[in-house]
Amino acid sequence: MNPPILVCTIGNKGIEVLKSSCNVYNPDIKLHIVQEEPSTFGETYNKAMAELFEEYDEIIIANDDIVLTPTSVSLLMEDVNLLKSEGVKIGFVAARSDFVRTVQARTVLQLYSSELIQAFAVSPLFAYINKEAFEVAQFPPINYWSDDIMCLDLSQAGFRHYISRSYIHHVGSQTIGTTYSKFLTEDKPWVLENRPQYCKFLFGK
């Protein structure tokens, strides 16, 4: 049985397309939609994930502005099960996409390759995560680098992150808004104060 899909949305800009693709391709999967007042990405998803992990041991988290394909879920879970069989301590296993960080986007044209890629950090636009990992590290209460920092914190604890063969179409950053310059300005002080050891990785210096 596949894990439920959790999506947090503010404004519902793309949620109907996600719901439609899920209903068409994976009608048996529970889709949990949480509508929140404006907050940070980290705070919103942590709260929703904590509640869902009271019932499930593993979930898939998603942005509200993505579209699933017929094989998005099946390929993701095939890769997760492969990692489980190899005894890997799994962090995030994230789908490839057309509007995402370079390490995930560069493999978009290899949709049917058998390559499962290990990465230092992934963008969890559509990503598997289990309760064990969530109990070790959560998203920090910021927007822009929240996913990077959770990935790095988990890596420090021995978890590994992977880019699945799974693919989703990303409409484009509706979950937390589009004012990136504002997020950069607001969130950098938190990183400097709370995770200075990651500054070179995140900022390049």
pLDDT digits (tens, 9 = 90+) for 14-60: 788 899 999 999 999 999 999 866 678 899 999 999 999 999 999 99
CATH number for the domain harbouring residue 153: 3.90.550.10
Whether residue 191 lies inside any domain: the answer is no
- Number of domains making up the chain: 1
Q: How, if at all, do strands 160-170 and 117-119 pair?
A: antiparallel
pTM equals 0.89
Whether residue 201 lies inside any domain: the answer is no
DSSP per-residue codes, 119-152: ES----SEEEEEHHHHHH----S-STTHHHHHHH
Whether residue 197 lies inside any domain: the answer is no
What range does the domain containing 66 cover?
5-177
Measured between alpha carbons, how far is residue 115 from residues 78, 79, 90, 159, 201 in Å? 12, 10, 17, 19, 25
Q: What's the CA gap between 97 and 75, in Å, rounded? A: 14
**Confidence category of residue 156, pLDDT binned at 50, 70, 90:** very high
